[in-house]
Structure 1
């Protein structure tokens, strides 16, 4: 993991920022392009904020200078008017010139209302009303994002040769219309060997804290599972629930990553995605009837050498007298398909977590990835 600083983002806020940026990078078309230009954008933003602050201060100074000049003009005019009237009314002992009294204009502070209705108010620019606190927050966040993107750029640069081999393999698979690890293993064993070799050479991307990937088709009840695991509603449930992007959900004990739909599409055959999969603390693969629902992804993880847990969700829909038979069937399928990296198998109901003991066992394991 050379080149990455594992303790770079210790706070909860920075942890959320890191997961959001990683998710953003993972979901880009043309995965992990060179993001060094974004650091330039961040530098430009910081420079613009500084320039806007300077302009705002200059604006206030000019505003006050303008009103001081106008006050002086009015005072001089009043003095001349008073002198002229005095010369015309020498017989009078005292003449009051109410209209000639100078209208004093007080220099304004930023955002003050116009104290002299004779002149239009000069409003400060709205874009320059950012408080020092907000500016500091923006600068801090952009610096954190820039730091993470710089790590990614260094990662790509350090593994440029490996990245090139991945891209070449991807082009070959697309040309042959190979869209899954299953079809790769079936139709191009030589390319499969190359892919496995590349995957094993790929180092994991570091993620702060406990990070759990949730794989599976939408029909397996992933949204309900997400909500149950985190103990709060973070994802919509019901007919048509789906996601096409990797989405992080930050809980108090761990971060859940919702990995969409069919997880073995060719778009996942990249250095960055394999690096992401390897960086996860745990990988949960949801099924609701048979291991075959996601056996291709399981075989892929097997070949890469990544362990995973199978979670049979909606077990409450299985008749009580048939539950033991279903458990045996799943165990048989695991052996028959020859899955090598299965660490645990849980039979649970995300809709009714307390119904089965496996839920408590699973949660204990998730809270302690070393178990």
Structure 2
């Protein structure tokens, strides 16, 4: 029975997960659905997901409705047999009376009541255990990179020399994204990495920031393997501006400085002037205190990219990486960004 209940609750949790994912994705991507007149098709898909969710819950409720009455029947039969045996023994020996038998029944009911409660909570417990499985899978994940050692390399200044020496990497062991990659970039040199979609350009950025561990080869910065560096120091010296910019709910200023107290407001305004964003920010309600909302929903993609540029430049990184970061920026703003990079980096 326990296996059947587990399967039922697994089905319910999977259905809830699919339903939540569908709603979240389609709220975010509503424009695409409307632009391609796909409302009817997506509604049919949503109806199918809702139907599976309903059927999964009906199956789980049926399992519960069978289990609890069975427990009640077993408890009632057990109580009846015990009472019959005690009453028969007492009356045959003429040692008992009706009052003692009633007292025994009442005490017996007090014993069986917790068993009924446990049976009632069994299904709740099973549902909680199924729901917690996914959480514990994340908590028990051992793929995280080890923390920086106490004697990690912490140079006073990073020059910015980058070397990939016969690097192999794949997100899964069966499929390698980077195969025997080698190149060298000197400090102050500008290099463009060009390739088709899925060739591993963004993966190189992730490996340089040590977000993943390579399978073979070595990555060095200033002739030192990145594994030897203090991870925080390494990442502070690498500025990254991505095509898909992520902004947190909060003010423009907080999203630029990431609440770093070492970056004063004056430096933020100076960098914004260099990129041509200062006047635009001042026109917002509240200026630099304007709330950009979740994921910067109140700003255009180009404006979010410009804020990301300011954020990267203010940290004065030794290495600046642009991952198609000017794809949504006009020519004039791109020119200002190029000038700002030459001045600040």
TM-score, normalization: structure 1? 0.30
TM-score, normalization: structure 2? 0.32
